[in-house]
Amino acid sequence: MEDAEYDLMDAAEDRMWWYRAVHARLLDVLERRPGRPALPVLDAGCGTGGFLRRLADASPRRAVGLDYNPRAAGRAAAKSGLPATGGTVNALPFPDASFGAAVSVDVICHAGVDEAAALAELHRVLAPGATLVLNLPAYAWLHSAHDRRVHTARRYTASSAARLLRGAGFAEVSAGYWNSLLLPLMVLQRKVLARGDDHASDVAEFPRWLDRVLHGATEAERRLPISFPAGGSVLVAATRP
């Protein structure tokens, strides 16, 4: 991403409803599927460190961050108190079987990422029995000005994401949608209100009342004992055999 988008992320990710929502879901999956807890967690594409800090607050597990932008990695280390380094998911700078789990939020979809190479690298650095958790943007038809700003090249369905991970050698793959209750608003924002090339990304600070409403909708959805057939994001988990 461009430096300006990293600045927006750094300013917004501790408070913005979407970041808090996706971080909660990552932690939920790691609680259900911890992988190899004695080994550290890799945040592949850690940005400016919001999830690393959330993980440090929620878990005693060791963790390491990596981001393509070394300045963002430096911010992540300062924010979280955990190590973070510059590097690419296309060629991870870590030894084989180094990690007991890995998470990656909206990274495999990026224009600068070689999808097959990145998944092969994540497979390589995960130990047998480790967990991989990916958050991915949903539906090619939702591509918008936001995606152009953050260089999203690919969007997925739950079934295509699951096939992708199985094809990369992962097992016990589960994939489903979230941000479902707010999907109609997302469509309105992306395809009607902010469809022009000059529109900014969706990363911003919202009025406090609106942020509470939007986050409340994601939390209500998170607690429902059902899964939805559609949503703004795909969350996929798998095991490295």
> Per-residue pLDDT tens for 112-158?
999 999 999 999 999 999 999 999 999 999 999 888 888 899 999 99
Instruction: Kindly state the average pLDDT of the residues 202-221.
Output: 91
Q: What is the pLDDT of residues 19-45, one digit of tens each?
A: 999 999 999 999 999 999 999 999 999
Average pLDDT, the chain: 94
Which strands form 63-67's sheet, in the order they lie side by side?
84-86, 63-67, 41-44, 99-105, 126-137, 233-239, 171-178
Give the integer Cα–Cα distance in Å for 14 and 16: 6
Distance between CA atoms of 90 and 76, rounded to whole angstroms? 20
Res 171 pLDDT > 80:
yes
Identify the CATH number of the domain in which residue 89 sits.
3.40.50.150
Distance CA 112, CA 176 (A): 25
Nearest C-alpha neighbor of 41 from the set 102, 132, 126: 102
Question: Judging by beta carbons within 10 Å of its beta carbon (0-12, 13-18, 19+), is residue 167 exposed, middle or buried?
Answer: exposed
pTM of the model: 0.94
What domain count does the chain have?
Answer: 1
What domain range includes position 233?
A: 3-239
The Cα–Cα gap between 31 and 217 comes to 22
- CB count, 10 Å around CB of 11? 14
